[in-house]
Chains A and B, each alone.
Chain A
Amino acid sequence: MKRTEVKTKLETSVINPDKIPRVLKKGEFGLALDWAVWDTKTKEVTEQRSKRGESFLRQFLDIWYMVAEGTHPAVASLITDYTNTGRWVFPNRYTWTVTGAAGDVTRGIIVGTGNTAPDISNYYIETLIAHGVGAGQLQYSLTSVAAPASDVTTSQFTITRNFANGSGGAITVNEIACCVLVQAYPSATSYYFTIIRDVIAGGIAVPNGQTLTVNYRPQAVV
């Protein structure tokens, strides 16, 4: 089957509060995870679903702890990166950077085929779907972040990434994760940490020529 590059344009904006997906209960802070599979030419949406994002990983807690404490660089924090290596990192301007470039599989939202239930100590996605147009690959757009919005009960913001299937065959996405950048002290080397991983029951079928758009929406409901 012919493999073609599927062009995908990513647009994010502040969500209309009336359209905030509601998957959390009153008083919760968590994630809404929604996705759509659509044709970039016809705009036809073939699948659209929402669910709770279930699985903040320990790296999320480790990084937030470090930031909340204002951990001094001379002490730093030992946190496990996506290669399962402990890194001595500290809070600075780059902490939590999620905005990865197109094709970057170490920052932003990533997808995979693994379906093992999440464990709090997961350090990366189980089986990454690589970036590209080869067999079993998806083209990763950049990851973008839309500004916070709220209505009378819910505040949230949105992290978005598109995955275009130009592989020539159908691909099933079974897991979705999100990675952020944190820097080490004293080298200022950037390392990457997985903070969220979700397994999708039944998977998401992405036919050849179609695009998967994934939104993670951190939310708080009063």
Chain B
Amino acid sequence: MKVYLDLYRFNKNWKLLEKRRQLSRSLTIGLMDYFYSQFNQILLAAPHTITNVDRVLFDIDTTNTAPYAQYIPGRIAAPGGNSAIQTGENGLATPAMYYSLKTSILGADLGILVGTGSTAVTPTDRRLVSRISHGVRPADGAETLFNSYAAGEDASGDISAATIWLGQMFVPAVSHRCTSVSVKLYKAAAPGDVTVRIRSLATHTAASAFYPTAAYCADLGSATIAEAAIGGVSPGALVKATFATPFDLYAGHYYAIIVNCPGAGGANHIYWRRDDAAPTFDRGFTDSSLASTKLGSADSGATWTSSGGTYMFEENGQSVGEFEISGCDILGKAIANPNGEFVIRRFFSNNSGGSIDVAESGLTCCGFHHDNSNQQYGAGTTYLIGRDVIGPAITVANTEILLATYTIQITV
């Protein structure tokens, strides 16, 4: 079987400016995960664990209670932009479920994706290196504030031991590459350096609920704040942790900023300032499995609880520019012995105001977990099944349109 990746660049009047064809080099283990789970009829009782695009372990299965319910595992076709596919099949008793990416998938997360990263492909790639997301934002020339909370500061979280980890959930409205996080801290005595990390939240099992559980969630990035940068007087100040390697945060996905201090204990404390009385943070959606967006763990992130309040933070990054992303189509099936093929197609319109260099392309498909906890009956996710590096990069100027197609071709 061969898979061809074709790239066409048009001007706004649909005049073809450039055409490229390359053999797709890089179907990944994610595709094997999909076929394995279906071929082997993996069921809820013994699911198959994959790693999704947020580096979260996600148990997929083929269990589905109703024979005619919408069935999404393996689906590649997608609506455009921020339009969504609902993955929860029925019985969603909690309205918030409808609004959660726990039980729905954004169109722009599914199907053909493009990005700016050029790192060589490996079979275990799980996400694009630097995805170009849906929208019209230009590339940021400098680090930009994307998410923050600074209101109503009235209390502190106390990191009094190495095993105490505190977290703040947030949901970006805009995809971007995260470069740094600032948290408002002060110290008592000499606790040593502080670690700041960002993880996506596990979204598929009652056991992990909706938390950045260590067993499921890898760090997307981590960085250290030197003790010397942290003041010793309340209420302290924002101190910055800069990530050596920036990483993507996707619009609508659920993330947590996590702070811990390996040297905390005895008289040595770190305090993270917060708003307990009347938090108004509106980018920390909750659902029935998460009481609030302020998180705490007493066992180094192995298990978590949530409670009312919002920690003081700033999350900064840079957009690599955005394309308006169309629906992803499946079409062009043609069979003529000895050949057969079909095509996966998507358009990317650049209305960002600037040029964007496309250096990688990928494919994701739907994963499904028949989680019947919390009345959700079907958690969805996307996971990578292929990634290609495009060399040299293809430059898409403002107002131009990029068409990307994958042609799946068999020959007997």
Contact = CB atoms under 8 A, between A and B. Distances in A.
Contacts of B74: 67-68, 91, 95
B190 interface: no
B339 interface: yes
Interface in B28-79: 28-29, 31-33, 35-36, 38-41, 48, 62-64, 67-68, 70-77
A145 B36 contact: yes
Contacts of A153: 123
Contacts of A26: 25
A52 B62 CA distance: 29
A159 interface: yes
A47 interface: no
Nearest to A31: B1
Given A27-B25, A61-B333, A67-B75, A186 B68 contact: yes
A222 B28 CA distance: 7
B408 A73 contact: no
A29 B36 contact: no
Contacts of B297: none
A99 B41 contact: yes
Interface string A43-75: 000000000001111101110110111100100
B109 to A, nearest CB: 15
A121 B342 contact: no
Interface string A109-133: 0000000001111100000000000
Contact of A151 (B31, B123, B333): B123
Contacts of A95: 38, 71, 74
A148 B344 CA distance: 24
B41 A68 contact: no
Interface residues of A, number: 56
Given A93-B63, A120-B337, A120-B412, A61 B342 contact: yes
A193 interface: no
B36 A147 contact: yes
A65 B330 contact: yes
Contacts of A98: 39-40
Interface string B379-412: 0000000000000000000000000000010101
B79 to A, nearest CB: 11
B337 A96 contact: no
Contacts of A68: 74-77, 330, 342, 344, 365
A54 B411 CA distance: 8
B121 A91 contact: no
Interface string A7-38: 00000000000000000001111100000000
A4 interface: no
B35 A56 contact: no
Given A68-B76, A220-B28, A147 B48 contact: yes
Pick the 6 closest A-B CB pairs, nearest first.
A155-B29, A96-B38, A145-B40, A148-B32, A220-B27, A27-B25
26 contacts: A28-B2, A29-B27, A56-B410, A58-B340, A58-B410, A67-B73, A68-B77, A69-B77, A73-B68, A93-B62, A93-B64, A93-B71, A94-B62, A118-B412, A120-B336, A120-B339, A144-B40, A148-B29, A148-B36, A150-B32, A151-B123, A152-B123, A155-B31, A183-B67, A218-B32, A222-B121
